[in-house]
Amino acid sequence: MKKLLFLSALCLGAISYQAQNKTEFKLSKKIALPGDGKWDYMSVDNDKQRLYVSHADRVHVIDLKNDTPVAEWTGLANVHGIAFSKKENKVYIANTNNNSVILFDSKSLTKIKTIELKGAIKPDCILFDEFSQKAFVFCGKSNNTYVLDAKTDEILAIIDMGGKPEFACSDDKGFVYNNIEDKNEVVVIDAKQNKIVNRFSLRDNKAPTGLAIDKSNQRLMVACEESEKMVVLDMKSGKLVSVVPMGKKTDGLIYMKGDHLVITSNGAGSATIIKQEGADNYSVVQTIETQVGLKTISYEEKKARFFVTGANFETDGKTIIPNTFGVFVYSAN
């Protein structure tokens, strides 16, 4: 009898544990935003609780305390990456059409200046590294990275990437990691010396796009769009430790460290939720149906929710339906 009671208690405990740790995300709201152009990166300032959204010729600034737009920076030139410096109160915006970075003040929400990147072609991702107090601007067609000093805004270095750079992340200890999309590798940049110090092969996993970092377990999560796989690397050795299936046409990827979840935004119309059971153990726990074109992603730590941006398309799948753009907010139940 005691054995039966003990086994029953174990079973109930397991069921209770699973119920408490099961996280399912659902669409909670859409924040409608003006404009009918294309979109790319988003960036969340968790300290100020703001979301910056790139949208063709403008950037939308949303107050996440009440999910309300508070500013709209217009007249820009095909916006891609957005990053910010907490210490200098600067927001960096990559302008692809005129190969520049535009700076805004994150306190007054007003423009500071334009930095021309001579020789750059298609500045795309921007990463601000708090450790080195530098902004890294990755240029997709000139295959290089411009390094900017946060205080002076001067160009400190131009790094030859040896291929097309995509998304980047930092370990906040002096190293920056970046996907090289056409070489199927991740490069390691020494943020002090402004140079590449290592290259990690992704083997037969192709077209790395999204990239995230788990600093506590020293792991890199890489979304390989062409292979439709999420690849996990040891960030010190570059050793491949896990490969997990994900959706089609993936662009963005985030790591929600509080919930130990990796989420990919898939342009074919889904989001893949992957549970991290340990440093090297991952499994898909949920696939969310979104809509075609929702490929970029960011998340808010405080409320443990994530954002994807996009609009509705005509039947041709290319023409944007006017007045349908916005931020889709997904929350856990």
pTM: 0.92
Burial pattern 187-214, b for ≥16 Cβ within 10 A else e, equals bbbebeebebebebebeebbbbbbbbbb
pLDDT at residue 332 is higher than 80: yes
The structure tokens listed for 191 are: 């943020």
Q: Where are the domains of the chain?
A: 38-303
pLDDT in tens, 266-317: 999 999 999 999 999 999 999 999 999 999 999 999 899 999 999 999 988 8
Can you give the pLDDT at residue 19? 38
Can you give the pLDDT at residue 269? 96
User: Using 50, 70 and 90 to split pLDDT, how confident is the model at 13?
Assistant: very low
pLDDT in tens, 159-216: 999 999 999 999 999 999 999 999 999 999 999 999 999 999 999 999 999 999 999 9
Residue 126 to residue 259: CA distance in whole angstroms: 26
Can you give the pLDDT at residue 317? 84
Q: Are 300 and 64 in contact (CB under 8 A)?
A: yes
Closest CA to 126 of 109, 147, 106, 104: 147
How are beta strands 175-180 and 39-45 bridged, if at all? Answer: unpaired
SS3 content of the chain, % helix, strand, coil (to 5): 5, 55, 40
Can you give the pLDDT at residue 318? 87
Write the CATH number of the domain with boundaries 38-303.
2.130.10.10
pLDDT > 90 fraction of the chain, expressed in percent and rounded: 91
Closest CA to 162 of 192, 190, 133, 189: 189
Measure Cα distances from 185 to 57, 89, 129, 199 in Å. Answer: 31, 33, 21, 7
pLDDT in tens, 71-81: 999 999 999 99
